[in-house]
Amino acid sequence: AHTDQLVIIGDVGQDYLQNGDLDVVMEFNGDIAQLMRDDADIRFVIPQEGGYIFTDVMAIPATSPNQDLAELFINFILEPQNGAILSNVIRYATPNMASYPFLNLDDLNNPIIYPSEDIQKRLFYQSFNNAQINALYAQVWEDFV
Protein backbone atom coordinates (compact mmCIF):
# COMPACT_ATOMS: atom_id res chain seq x y z
CA ALA A 1 0.00 0.00 0.00
CA HIS A 2 1.09 3.53 -0.66
CA THR A 3 0.61 4.81 2.87
CA ASP A 4 1.90 8.23 1.85
CA GLN A 5 -1.31 8.51 -0.18
CA LEU A 6 -3.61 7.37 2.63
CA VAL A 7 -5.84 10.02 4.14
CA ILE A 8 -8.14 9.57 7.14
CA ILE A 9 -10.90 12.13 6.84
CA GLY A 10 -13.87 10.93 8.89
CA ASP A 11 -17.37 10.65 7.47
CA VAL A 12 -16.88 13.07 4.58
CA GLY A 13 -15.28 10.72 2.05
CA GLN A 14 -18.25 11.12 -0.25
CA ASP A 15 -17.52 14.85 -0.52
CA TYR A 16 -13.90 14.24 -1.54
CA LEU A 17 -15.01 11.57 -4.00
CA GLN A 18 -17.63 13.84 -5.53
CA ASN A 19 -15.16 16.72 -5.86
CA GLY A 20 -12.57 14.46 -7.48
CA ASP A 21 -10.08 15.04 -4.66
CA LEU A 22 -9.92 11.28 -3.95
CA ASP A 23 -10.41 8.28 -6.21
CA VAL A 24 -11.24 5.70 -3.53
CA VAL A 25 -12.94 6.09 -0.16
CA MET A 26 -14.27 3.78 2.55
CA GLU A 27 -17.71 5.17 3.11
CA PHE A 28 -21.25 4.23 4.11
CA ASN A 29 -23.33 2.68 1.35
CA GLY A 30 -26.16 5.22 1.58
CA ASP A 31 -23.78 8.15 1.16
CA ILE A 32 -22.35 6.59 -1.99
CA ALA A 33 -25.81 5.60 -3.26
CA GLN A 34 -26.79 9.28 -2.98
CA LEU A 35 -23.81 10.26 -5.16
CA MET A 36 -24.53 7.53 -7.67
CA ARG A 37 -27.95 9.07 -8.30
CA ASP A 38 -26.21 11.95 -10.10
CA ASP A 39 -22.86 10.47 -11.17
CA ALA A 40 -22.81 7.28 -13.24
CA ASP A 41 -19.01 7.04 -12.86
CA ILE A 42 -19.18 6.38 -9.11
CA ARG A 43 -19.15 2.75 -7.99
CA PHE A 44 -19.70 1.02 -4.66
CA VAL A 45 -17.77 -2.20 -4.06
CA ILE A 46 -17.77 -4.68 -1.21
CA PRO A 47 -14.49 -6.61 -1.24
CA GLN A 48 -14.63 -10.39 -1.65
CA GLU A 49 -13.13 -10.57 1.87
CA GLY A 50 -16.20 -8.76 3.18
CA GLY A 51 -16.86 -5.55 5.01
CA TYR A 52 -18.52 -4.01 8.02
CA ILE A 53 -22.24 -3.93 8.48
CA PHE A 54 -23.68 -1.20 10.63
CA THR A 55 -26.95 -0.49 12.35
CA ASP A 56 -28.27 2.95 13.10
CA VAL A 57 -30.55 3.28 16.09
CA MET A 58 -32.73 5.93 17.64
CA ALA A 59 -32.31 6.23 21.39
CA ILE A 60 -33.44 8.68 24.01
CA PRO A 61 -31.03 9.51 26.83
CA ALA A 62 -32.47 8.76 30.26
CA THR A 63 -31.78 12.37 31.24
CA SER A 64 -33.48 13.90 28.19
CA PRO A 65 -35.63 16.88 29.20
CA ASN A 66 -37.99 16.19 26.27
CA GLN A 67 -38.57 12.45 26.41
CA ASP A 68 -42.20 12.71 25.33
CA LEU A 69 -41.29 14.78 22.28
CA ALA A 70 -38.44 12.40 21.43
CA GLU A 71 -40.82 9.43 21.63
CA LEU A 72 -43.28 11.24 19.34
CA PHE A 73 -40.49 11.80 16.83
CA ILE A 74 -39.42 8.15 16.90
CA ASN A 75 -43.04 7.04 16.51
CA PHE A 76 -43.40 9.46 13.58
CA ILE A 77 -40.36 8.01 11.81
CA LEU A 78 -41.60 4.46 12.49
CA GLU A 79 -44.86 5.15 10.63
CA PRO A 80 -44.42 3.20 7.39
CA GLN A 81 -44.97 6.10 4.98
CA ASN A 82 -42.76 8.48 6.96
CA GLY A 83 -39.95 5.94 7.26
CA ALA A 84 -40.16 5.31 3.52
CA ILE A 85 -39.93 9.03 2.75
CA LEU A 86 -36.79 9.24 4.88
CA SER A 87 -35.27 6.14 3.31
CA ASN A 88 -36.09 7.34 -0.22
CA VAL A 89 -34.29 10.63 0.41
CA ILE A 90 -31.19 9.41 2.23
CA ARG A 91 -30.91 6.10 0.33
CA TYR A 92 -30.29 4.02 3.42
CA ALA A 93 -32.20 0.80 4.03
CA THR A 94 -35.05 0.69 6.47
CA PRO A 95 -35.60 -2.41 8.61
CA ASN A 96 -39.30 -1.49 8.81
CA MET A 97 -40.83 -3.92 6.33
CA ALA A 98 -44.16 -2.08 6.61
CA SER A 99 -42.41 0.78 4.76
CA TYR A 100 -41.48 -1.39 1.76
CA PRO A 101 -44.67 -0.70 -0.26
CA PHE A 102 -43.83 3.02 -0.12
CA LEU A 103 -40.16 2.74 -1.13
CA ASN A 104 -38.80 3.64 -4.54
CA LEU A 105 -38.68 0.31 -6.39
CA ASP A 106 -35.26 1.15 -7.83
CA ASP A 107 -33.90 1.59 -4.30
CA LEU A 108 -35.66 -1.49 -2.93
CA ASN A 109 -34.06 -3.55 -5.71
CA ASN A 110 -30.66 -1.86 -5.39
CA PRO A 111 -28.11 -4.32 -3.90
CA ILE A 112 -26.05 -1.40 -2.63
CA ILE A 113 -28.95 -0.37 -0.38
CA TYR A 114 -30.49 -3.80 0.21
CA PRO A 115 -27.64 -6.34 -0.22
CA SER A 116 -28.40 -9.80 -1.55
CA GLU A 117 -28.08 -12.82 0.74
CA ASP A 118 -24.73 -13.66 -0.89
CA ILE A 119 -23.39 -10.20 -0.09
CA GLN A 120 -24.85 -10.29 3.42
CA LYS A 121 -22.87 -13.46 4.13
CA ARG A 122 -19.67 -11.43 3.58
CA LEU A 123 -20.66 -8.65 5.98
CA PHE A 124 -19.89 -8.59 9.68
CA TYR A 125 -20.32 -6.36 12.70
CA GLN A 126 -17.19 -4.84 14.13
CA SER A 127 -16.32 -6.51 17.40
CA PHE A 128 -13.62 -6.04 19.95
CA ASN A 129 -11.98 -9.07 21.51
CA ASN A 130 -10.68 -7.02 24.37
CA ALA A 131 -12.40 -7.14 27.75
CA GLN A 132 -11.23 -3.64 28.68
CA ILE A 133 -12.67 -2.08 25.50
CA ASN A 134 -15.90 -4.07 25.86
CA ALA A 135 -16.23 -2.88 29.46
CA LEU A 136 -15.67 0.72 28.36
CA TYR A 137 -18.36 0.44 25.67
CA ALA A 138 -20.75 -1.12 28.18
CA GLN A 139 -20.09 1.69 30.67
CA VAL A 140 -20.58 4.43 28.06
CA TRP A 141 -23.83 2.82 26.95
CA GLU A 142 -25.01 2.45 30.56
CA ASP A 143 -24.20 6.12 31.25
CA PHE A 144 -26.10 7.11 28.12
CA VAL A 145 -29.30 5.24 28.89
pLDDT in tens, 1-42: 555 666 666 678 888 888 888 888 888 899 999 999 889 899
Does some domain include residue 74?
no
Report how far residue 129's alpha carbon sits from residue 133's, in angstroms, rounded to the nearest whole number. 8
Low-confidence ranges of the chain (pLDDT < 70): 1-10, 144-145
pLDDT value of position 104: 97
Q: How many folded domains does the chain comprise?
A: 3
- Together in a domain, 84 and 120: no
Cβ 48 vs Cβ 55: under 8 Å: no
- Together in a domain, 125 and 86: no
Residue 38 domain boundaries: 1-45
- Together in a domain, 143 and 106: no
- Together in a domain, 123 and 93: no
pLDDT value of position 42: 92
- Together in a domain, 37 and 104: no
Does some domain include residue 40?
yes
pLDDT value of position 115: 94
Does some domain include residue 72?
no
Angle at 84 between CA 117 and CA 91, to 5 degrees: 60
Q: Which of 133, 120, 129, 130 is nearest to 52 (CA)?
A: 120
- The helix (H) or strand (E) run that includes residue 52 is strand 51-52
pTM: 0.75
Q: Is 71 helix (H, G, I), strand (E, B) or coil?
A: helix
